[in-house]
Amino acid sequence: MRFSEMKKGLMHSYGVAVIVLALSLCLGSSSEQLSSRECENLGFTGLALCSDCNTLSEYVKDKELVSDCFKCCTEDSNDATTKVTYSGAVLEVCMRKLVFYPEVVSFIEDEKDQFPSVKVQYVFNSPPKLIMLDDAGQQKETIRIDNWKREHILQFLREKVKPLASD
């Protein structure tokens, strides 16, 4: 009788230890942040919020993909994401691939002139992306816009790019 009680206690302790170890491994790996280059190589670029990763986990059951998302996301905070503005941007795209992105073409042809601080740069084999620039003209953020509609590009630039100061 005593042996079985001891065995139950030992098994319970072992089970608790395994659960604690598993949780610490999961939490440890998700809190690790990757560099922006590593995230871009994984396909996570731009201002992905951690709440987006939670939504992703509801639809995609690939735990490694969701884990990578959490390693590349920005914490949800109104101050952190909505108030960030940039002095300018570069819309980088491959001229040969433009035919596959009619929304980007439409923006460049019809709307780009509304944003004098946004330049278009044609780079061989580059997917469409916005490179956001600080006051010194240095790259601060890169956002892939492959599947964005023209309206989304317009809205994003209106919210995130400071208008040029009048002389």
List per-residue pLDDT tens for the chain, 167 residues long: 565 665 565 555 554 444 444 444 444 444 578 887 888 888 776 567 787 788 788 888 889 988 988 888 877 665 555 578 899 999 999 999 999 999 999 999 999 999 999 999 999 999 999 999 999 999 998 999 988 999 999 999 999 999 876 54
Which pair of tokens denotes residue 126? 């580059």
Which pair of tokens denotes residue 102? 């009619």
| Helical (H) or strand (E) element with 118 | strand 118-122
Provide the CATH topology of domain 85-160: Glutaredoxin (3.40.30)
CA pseudo-torsion sign 100, 123, 110, 90: positive
Residue ranges of the domains in the chain? 33-83, 85-160
